[in-house]
Amino acid sequence: MRNEIGITNIHMAQNLLRDMLFRFLNNPRTRPNQNSYWDQNREKLRQAFPQDLRGFGDCSKTWRGIAQTISSAFSAFGKYVNEQDISEGRKVIIPAWQAKVAKSDEITNTELFKSLMSCWNSDLHNFALGFYVHGSLASRDYTAYSDCDTMIFLKSSSAQSMNDLIQLRNILIPT
């Protein structure tokens, strides 16, 4: 039986999960017991998914506890998505960097792309569907001001696995 929660709640929960996952995987300064960020957001998720309380992990003081919260919430999330709220699919082809960037003569950027590819080949491909560079570096209209904008799409199975999330954090944050 489908669980029903409001549209605002499912959108809020998705944004909250994205933010939590982003902090967990990207921010080396984040500490599990540093502030109440994790506790507060776990409570918000409990309110968004009231029928799935038990799976959300009780401990936010360790990385494992936080990974358990995030992975459990991702597991529950799919049950609440309303098919009527989804539009028809739009297919996008994203060319490999070798085809688009490597022909250029900018050695520094070629080195940058090679190091990103090395990260993908060594570990990341086990957990992610794809690894992309977007923004000015990809469209080659960058200036000295430009950042390197990247995007990783995780596999559902990895987002729903506590162990995978912990391994991913170790890959993405240098130690």
Q: Which residues bind other proteins (CB under 8 A)?
A: 7-8, 11, 14-15, 18, 28-29, 81, 85-97, 99-101, 113, 116-117, 120-121, 124-125, 128-136, 138-139, 141, 143-145, 150-151, 153, 174-175
Of 120 and 157, nearer to other proteins (C-beta) is 120
Q: How far is the CB of 76 from other proteins (least distance, A)?
A: 14
Q: How far is the CB of 58 from other proteins (least distance, A)?
A: 28
Q: How far is the CB of 106 from other proteins (least distance, A)?
A: 13
Q: How far is the CB of 166 from other proteins (least distance, A)?
A: 18
Q: From CA 133, how far away is CA 151, in angstroms rounded?
A: 6
In degrees, to the nearest 5, what angle opens at C-alpha 139 toward C-alphas 137 and 143? 45
Q: From CA 107, how far away is CA 116, in angstroms rounded?
A: 14
State residue 38 phi and psi, 5-degree precision: -70, -40
Of 59 and 102, nearer to other proteins (C-beta) is 102
